[in-house]
């Protein structure tokens, strides 16, 4: 069940853009109550289309057709105004603890409808850190991307990509220009959160597989 509470923090999508991406965030706040208040506070000038609490309660804050203020500076593939091209989903989480089962089930219930309404393919369901690797860390290494991929709600790499240059593969996937260390950390947070040290052959193979199968628009 979705509860509506309208945030004033939104506007029209620029240039007649339609959403064709989903960006997943964590709130980074101590409670869902405080996150809800901030996302609806005009002085804060931030918002998301949806907020999902730890118990699975889902709040609709901004109409999907409107431009919420959730992504900020960054990009994905050829997109440099991510707010105008995306639906933003915030998960109540400090960033220091796992995402709850009710919260993940609520996300899995919400995403299929959003993706169907706006023809969002699984490869364009991304994290905030993916599109802003120098600035952001959410949804972080505790978020279960493989679970979403198993449900057809995101993507997961195989090992058949070969040993292409990591920088080239990350650019083809959609990662924006940023220092190599920031892009590597963003990629690993999502696909190899346990990995440490400099890039290796596994990073290159996984990224090359994704770049081959899911090049960004």
Distance CA 51, CA 60 (A): 7
Give the CATH fold of the 2-150 domain: Lysozyme-like (3.40.80)
Residuewise pLDDT in 10s, the chain (217 residues): 899 999 999 999 999 999 999 999 999 999 999 999 999 999 999 999 999 999 999 999 999 999 999 999 999 999 999 999 999 999 999 999 999 999 999 999 999 999 999 999 999 999 999 999 999 999 999 999 999 999 999 999 997 778 899 999 999 999 999 999 999 999 999 999 999 999 999 999 999 999 999 998 7
Q: Report domain extents, the chain.
A: 2-150, 166-213
Q: DSSP assignment, residue 38?
A: H
Counting other chains too, the contacts that 177-184 makes at CB distance below 8 Å and 24 or more residues apart are 178/133, 178/134, 179/134, 182/133, 182/134, 183/133
> Which single residue is written with the structure tokens 């952001």?
136
Q: pTM of the full predicted structure?
A: 0.97
Locate the DSSP E strands across the chain. Answer: 2-4, 10-11, 21-26, 50-52, 58-60, 67-68, 86-91, 125-127
Residue 124 contacts residue 22 (beta carbons within 8 Å): yes
Cα 193 to Cα 213: distance, rounded to the nearest angstrom: 22
In this structure, the number of other CB atoms found within 10 A of the CB of residue 91 comes to 25
């Amino acid at each position: 069940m979705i509860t509506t509470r309208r945030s004033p923090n939104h506007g029209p999508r620029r240039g007649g853009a339609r959403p064709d991406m989903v960006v997943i965030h964590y709130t980074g706040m101590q409670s869902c109550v405080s996150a809800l208040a901030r996302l609806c506070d005009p002085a804060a000038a931030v918002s998301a289309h949806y907020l999902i609490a730890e118990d699975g309660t889902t709040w609709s804050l901004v109409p999907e057709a409107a431009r919420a203020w959730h992504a900020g500076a960054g990009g994905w593939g050829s997109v440099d105004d991510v707010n105008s091209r995306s639906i933003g989903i915030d998960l109540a989480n400090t960033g220091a603890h796992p995402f709850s089962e009710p919260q993940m089930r609520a996300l899995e219930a919400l995403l299929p409808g959003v993706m169907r309404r706006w023809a969002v393919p699984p490869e364009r369901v991304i994290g905030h850190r993916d599109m802003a690797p120098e600035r952001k860390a959410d949804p972080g290494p505790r978020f279960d991307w493989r679970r979403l991929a198993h449900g057809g709600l995101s993507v997961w790499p195989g090992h058949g990509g070969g040993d292409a240059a990591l920088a080239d593969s990350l650019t083809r996937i959609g990662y924006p220009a940023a220092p190599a260390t920031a892009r590597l950390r963003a990629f690993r947070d999502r696909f190899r959160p346990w990995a440490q040290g400099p890039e290796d052959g596994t990073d290159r193979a996984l990224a090359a597989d994704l770049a081959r199968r899911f090049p960004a628009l």
